[in-house]
Amino acid sequence: NAGVTQTPKFQVLKTGQSMTLQCAQDMNHNSMYWYRQDPGMGLRLIYYSASEGTTDKGEVPNGYNVSRLNKREFSLRLESAAPSQTSVYFCASSEGTGRGYEQYFGPGTRLTVT
């Protein structure tokens, strides 16, 4: 059981370039999430998908798009990267979005935009 996997682990982009961060989970979870963590800060929710076929904005969605490709996979796209998007990106999954469910996190993607 790999849990939540993310690719790539590291990425450097120039301002204006685009890229897609990939996330997959093998726990048959319904819900998936994308967070970002800036240095010395807590995580902030970018987008989430409560179930296959649905996506919703979180706290900081501007500059990002997401795709719930199937039940296992949830991707995050930066269409035109900006230095303010330099951060560590974490994907997570859970059985549901209710407040009694725990979330399981991937190892993160460290993104630098120059």
Q: Is 61 exposed, middle or buried (0-12, 13-18, 19+ CB in 10 A)?
A: middle
**28 backbone dihedrals φ, ψ, rounded to 5°:** 60, 35
Closer CB to another protein, 63 or 105, in the complex: 105
Q: In the stretch 57-76, what mask flags binding to another protein with x, by CB under 8 A?
A: -xx-----------------
Closer CB to another protein, 16 or 96, in the complex: 96
90 touches another protein by CB under 8 A: yes
CA 105 to chain centre: 10
Query: Rounded distance, CA 42 to CA 52, Å?
Result: 27
100 touches another protein by CB under 8 A: yes
In terms of Cα–Cα distance, which of 65, 8, 70, 80 is closest to 34?
Answer: 65
One-letter amino acid of 30: N
43 touches another protein by CB under 8 A: yes
Joined tokens for residue 49: 């998908």
Total number of residues that touch another protein (CB under 8 A): 25
Q: Which stretch binds another protein (CB under 8 A): 13-21, 31-39, 66-74, 77-85?
A: 31-39
The site for another protein (CB under 8 A) is made up of: 4, 31, 33, 35, 42-43, 45, 48, 50, 56, 58-59, 90, 92, 97-100, 102-108
